[in-house]
Amino acid sequence: MGRNRTRIDPDRYLTLRQGNYHYKRRVPVTVAHLDERAPHVRASLKTDDRALARRKRDLLEAADDALWASLITKGVTDPARRRYEAAVKRVEALDFTFHGAAYFEQPEAFDDLMDRIRVVLAGGNEQQITDPLLGAVEVPKTTVSKAFDIYCGEIVADELIGKSQVQKDQWKKVKRRAVNNFIKLNGDLAMEEITIDHAKKVYRHWLARIAPKEGSATAGASSGNRDLGNMRVLYEAYFKYQGDARRENPFDGLGFSLKKKRSRPPIPTEWIRDTVMKPGNLATLNDEARGILLILIETGARPSEICNLEPHAIRLSNKVPHLSIEPREDPDNPREIKTESSRRLVPLVGVALEAAKRHPAGFPRYRNRENDLSATLNHFLRANALLPTKLHTVYSFRHSFEDRMKEGGIEDELRRLLMGHTVDRPKYGSGGSLDWRRKELTKIALKFDQSIV
């Protein structure tokens, strides 16, 4: 530990015996009295390939380094967890997956168990390999909060790769709320200690808000279902990750009847044309927010899609000026779009084209700040009486665009393509040329005064 790795032997701790490489390493004197394997750690690597032996050696070396560090700093770290993590790495070095002892009680685990026993017998029954390989290592209990960290950092880490930081924060925020509510009601229990009674406590908490015996509801069924669903997913994913996929989930079957969700109402076309787009009514809105709103009116795009447009995605010099709504694949600054069907090309017509010309480089003020954009637009529209009712929001312009397409006779499949909705049939062709899409949208483009841009 603490070596200068630029000068160490690439074949450190490797010995060749009877054609196969073995890992052999002396236990440091400072922890020899705490490590039952002292004075040496030994393990057969089951390979005559030096490169593979080195990779397996690296796993075992890292496992031992972590274990010995935990023994030295006992009281600062969690020795039981370090031992468990070291056991996992040792098992992985032998091309197996670590499982607790309960896993091997299942009939379907018999073949796996026999394979492991063969390795143990061939290796001379070395305890430092036998115990981890056969699950005879205590799996430390993990609190709900720690399990959530493992879930985000290991189990679903790949799902977060393409998200922007804002998207990651929003994704975690919703799921963390479920964890925080569980802890508030039950304490930060070990995952292994959660029972149906703890799950029911969460259910009753939401029931009292969704269907109170007295007074009005303070929450909708979707909020309770989201919390229960996120805890159900966390519980299942965590134990599956620990090799205990058969464990009964205490959150199964708990949920609330969900009536048809009331969607945001569309804004009448006359209101958009005569009130929102009336000269002077948007004059005090900052330039970028105004540009985004005007583009939204004639594209039906989501506000987050418009404010995150990169300059190359605003294609004004093409024969048919258009927006390319797509994920941002910059590894240093990625961003997902909602679904694969959200990837689309949308022609620019009417006021949207003029607004895009004014902002050819996009909207840097609101890039990666879609929440700030929504707050700004909703506050401005409400403060200036530019929304018909309290139920309407900036997102209502998207619903209005879809209604205008329908009323303008634009066919269903093109409407779906332009909105970024799924087309329920096998995909053939490109969905029609951009020129054809533009001609269709021109039919419903609203008249406007150039001064509003």
> What phi-psi label fits residue 22: left (phi over 0), alpha (psi between -120 and 50 degrees) or beta?
beta
Same-domain check for residues 281 and 219: no
92 and 157, same domain (yes or no): no
The residue type of 240 is K
Query: CA 144 to CA 48: how far, in whole Å?
Result: 43
Q: Are residues 77 and 148 in the same domain?
A: no
pLDDT reported for residue 218: 86
pLDDT digits (tens, 9 = 90+) for 345-366: 999 999 999 999 999 999 999 9
| Confidence at residue 426, expressed as pLDDT on a 0 to 100 scale | 55
Determine, yes or no, domain membership for 319: yes
Pairing of strands 40-44, 344-347: unpaired
75 pLDDT above the threshold of 60: no
437 pLDDT band, cuts 50/70/90, is very high
Residues 356 and 219 in one domain: no
**Same-domain status, 281 and 383:** yes
Edge-to-edge strand list for the sheet holding 14-17: 14-17, 20-26, 40-44
> Where a domain ends, among 87, 111, 133?
133
Range of lowest pLDDT (28-32, 123-127, 167-171) = 123-127
Q: Is 143 helix (H, G, I), strand (E, B) or coil?
A: strand
Banded model confidence at residue 313, pLDDT cuts 50, 70, 90: very high
The pLDDT of residue 160: 87
Could you tell me if residue 246 is inside a domain? no
Tell me, yes or no, whether 90 lies in a domain: yes
| Cα separation, 178 vs 182, whole angstroms | 6
- Last residue within a domain, chosen from 98, 133, 168: 133
**Looking at the structure, do residues 225 and 332 belong to the same domain, yes or no?**
no
**Cα gap 405→439, rounded to integer Å:** 12
Q: What is the mean pLDDT of residues 45-69?
A: 86
Provide the pLDDT for residue 5. 46
What phi and psi values does residue 360 have, to the nearest 5 degrees?
Answer: -65, -20
Q: Mark whether 125 and 191 lie in a shared domain.
A: no
Q: What is the structure's pLDDT at 77? A: 53
* Last-in-domain residue among 222, 241, 260: 241
One domain for residues 350 and 293: yes
DSSP secondary structure letter of residue 250: T
d(CA 448, CA 451): 9
Mean pLDDT value across residues 23-45: 83
What is the pLDDT at residue 3? 47
Same domain, 174 and 96: no
Residue 235 forms part of a structural domain? yes
Residues 105 and 179 in one domain: no
Instruction: Please tell me the pTM assigned to this model.
Output: 0.66
Return phi, psi of residue 227, to 5°: -65, -50
Is 216 a member of any domain? Answer: yes
Number of domains observed in the structure of the chain: 3
Lowest mean pLDDT among 24-28, 63-67, 72-76: 72-76
Is the pLDDT assigned to residue 4 strictly greater than 50?
A: no
Question: How far, in Å, CA of 290 to CA of 287, rounded?
Answer: 5
Q: What is the rounded average pLDDT of the residues 75-81?
A: 58
Look at residues 26, 25, 17, 24 and name the one whose alpha carbon lies nearest to residue 47: 17
Tell me what the mean pLDDT of segment 21-45 comes to.
84
Residue 3 lies in a domain: no
Does a structural domain hold residue 177? yes
Average pLDDT over residues 43-57: 89
Range of the domain at 20: 14-133
Instruction: Label residue 261 by pLDDT band (50, 70, 90).
Output: low
- Nearest CA to 40 out of 11, 60, 58 is that of 60
* pLDDT computed for residue 282 by the predictor: 97
Task: Examine the domain organization and report whether 88 and 212 are in the same domain.
Answer: no
- Do 110 and 150 lie in a common domain? no
With respect to residue 261, please indicate whether it lies within any of the assigned structural domains.
Answer: no
Two tokens, residue 105: 């009680």
Q: What CATH number is given to the structural domain containing 378?
A: 1.10.443.10
Mean pLDDT of the residues in the chain: 87
Helices (H) and strands (E) counted in the chain, each on its own, are 16, 6
